[in-house]
Amino acid sequence: MKTKSEARRLHIVEVATEVFRESGFERTSMAEISARVGGSKATLYNYFSSKEKLFLEVMVSSNQQQFDAAQALLDFSDATFKQALQQFGVALLKLLFSPDVLSVRRLVIAEALRSDLGHDCYRRSRKLGEQRISERLQLAIDKGILKTVDANRMTTHLLGLLESEFTEWLVWRDAPELTEPQLQAAVERAVDVFWMAYGKQSD
């Protein structure tokens, strides 16, 4: 059972997530979050010493479980690795281009030129995710499934290919939700290009 303190912390993060999405990082104040949470600003600062740290927690925690589930699909046991790449790509794009995650990513981009928030979010979220994907790709290299190439560079190319057809959606005010046929087709094209470049069978 979670302690009362941990439950309070989680409640603060949930409320802050709503406020940041409604008002953006710049216009959101700790006073507004505190008012919605209920309690004093001093109590809020006991949990998070700055608005930046609270936003980072929102960014990192809001979709971690879904990302973990997507990454777990990069497996070798139940499908060929190319099929695993397809499953991983679909799950990842569903997450990255969902309305909630798009709104958070836009907040980070908007703040990137004004503060270190963008870099800090990258360091605590995407960078860690990329490292974990690289570890999975390195396993495929070690097993002779993928060519012997730097796994970090390979990860960069894989993610770039997966997101390439929808990157511009980040700057659309009313981006449509991805349909399943769109996702499947776009990921299949990305995986085909990746496989031609890095799949051992393409030698």
Residue spans per domain, the chain: 4-58, 63-202
Express each pLDDT in 62-96 by its tens digit: 666 677 777 777 776 545 888 889 999 998 888 88
| Side-chain half-sphere exposure of 134, counting CA atoms within 13 A | 15
**The pLDDT of residue 2:** 55
Quick one: pLDDT at residue 74? 75
Question: What's the pLDDT score for residue 1?
Answer: 43
Assigned CATH for 4-58: 1.10.10.60
Positions of the chain with pLDDT lower than 70, given as ranges = 1-4, 62-65, 76-79, 111, 201-203
Per-residue model confidence (pLDDT) at position 156: 95
95 C-beta neighbours (distance < 10 Å), count = 15
User: 89 near 189, Cβ under 8 Å?
Assistant: no
Q: Do domains 4-58 and 63-202 have the same CATH topology?
A: no
d(CA 74, CA 104): 25
At 77 the pLDDT is 58
pLDDT of 69 reads 73
Taking every pair of C-alpha atoms in the chain, what is the biggest distance, in angstroms? 64
Rounded Cα gap, residues 114 and 65, in angstroms: 29
CA angle 54, 60, 174 (to 5 degrees): 95
pLDDT for 168 equals 82
What fold characterizes domain 63-202?
Tetracycline Repressor; domain 2 (1.10.357)
User: Using alpha carbons only, what angle is made at residue 65 by residues 35 and 24, rounded to the nearest 5 degrees?
Assistant: 35
